[in-house]
A and B are shown apart, each in its own frame.
Chain A
Amino acid sequence: MAGTAVRGRLTWQVATAGSLTDETVAVRTIELGVADWAGHSAGQHLDVRLTADDGYVAERSYSLASAPGEPVAITVERLEDGEVSPYLTEDLRPGDEIEIRGPIGGYFVWPWQDDATSPLLLVAGGSGVVPFRSILRHRAELGAKTPARLLYSAKSLPDVIYRAELDAMHDGVEVIYTLTRQQPPGWTGHSGRVNEALLREVAWASGQQPIAYVCGPTAFVESVASGLVGLGYPPSRVKTERFGGVGGP
């Protein structure tokens, strides 16, 4: 039951949909008006709960797409056989109410234990890029000088989420795309899945004490994380978040 949030407790509450932004044909960013929001860290997520007329309840987690201090926003990829994402990406209208709880998570957050100075490596598969928008915006707002690289694996250029914002990144942020299924004519970027050779080319040398965040489908995350450990990254410096086998790059 939704109620007033008690400090330290995580309670369901009603959020009101605000502006909706189509990022790709299957991905939508939803701003949420939340009366009682404790403020979030970059990389955290929230849970959404939908209750059908017959009482059937479905819960899903979505990464927060907005930086700390910005209005709460999530970016949702529509899964064709999904129970929650089709509603959020197709049916939800501004002013509609949904139940949420959050912010959630203390592991996949940046800065990690006040470590804001280590070179930052972000590796995203598909909609795994969502928490990295929050992290990169937060980095910019902090005026952090820590260099950052985002390696983003997407199926094709039209599947790249936040492309305009990512292409405009500057001030110590490099964005490197790899397109796994379809490349536009004249594409000079990387093609194919993230493999050891690409990681070796893009990742900060382990001697620079980098910290890595990897987010995407489970198989993608496990392959990238083990690749980074193979390059000498200590496992404790490779933060991972897996969202299953669907919607991958």
Chain B
Amino acid sequence: MDALDGNAIGGLLHEVFGTEMTAATGRCANCGFIAPVAESVVYLDAPGTVVRCRKCVGVLMVVVRRSGMNCVDLSGLAALGATAV
């Protein structure tokens, strides 16, 4: 399957963060690129859901569902917020 974008995980992110996140802005910890979550590169068929920076393809987020629980790795994000970061 091709890469999708952050729109495709609007439901998953809502589940994780408890609110709409596709319009939120993220800053890549690797290259500093700032973009809406919706514009990130998303692989649904990786082991878990992998979200990458559109500029440097660094990993921003990984979400793995295990036993009904979401394990979330946000270490690739320097910042994530509803307003400019």
Contacts and interface: CB of A to CB of B under 8 A. Distances in A.
Contacts of A139: none
Contact of B2 (A108, A239, A240, A244): A244
A217 B2 CA distance: 9
A219 interface: yes
Interface in A176-217: 217
B11 A218 contact: no
Contacts, number: 71
Contact of A10 (B6, B8, B11, B37): B11
A133 interface: no
A10 to B, nearest CB: 4
A172 interface: no
Query: Secondary structure at chain B's binding surface: helix, strand, loop or mixed?
Result: mixed
Contacts of B14: 10, 104
B10 A105 contact: yes
A10 B17 CA distance: 10
Given A8-B18, A8-B19, A61-B11, A107 B37 contact: yes
Interface string A109-126: 000000000000000000
B73 interface: no
B4 A242 contact: yes
Contacts of A242: 2-5, 7-8
Contacts of B23: 106-107
A243 B37 CA distance: 16
B17 to A, nearest CB: 10
Nearest to A243: B4
Interface in B1-49: 1-8, 10-11, 14-15, 18-23, 36-39
Given A8-B19, A10-B14, A240-B39, A105 B7 contact: yes
Contacts of B22: 104-108
A99 to B, nearest CB: 12
A56 B19 CA distance: 27
A106 B15 CA distance: 15
A97 interface: no
Closest 6 CB pairs of A and B: A107-B38, A245-B2, A106-B23, A104-B10, A106-B20, A107-B22
Interface of A: 8-10, 45-47, 59, 61, 101-102, 104-108, 217-219, 221, 239-246
Given A107-B23, A107-B37, A218-B4, 4 more contacts: A104-B20, A239-B38, A242-B5, A244-B2
Interface of B: 1-8, 10-11, 14-15, 18-23, 36-39
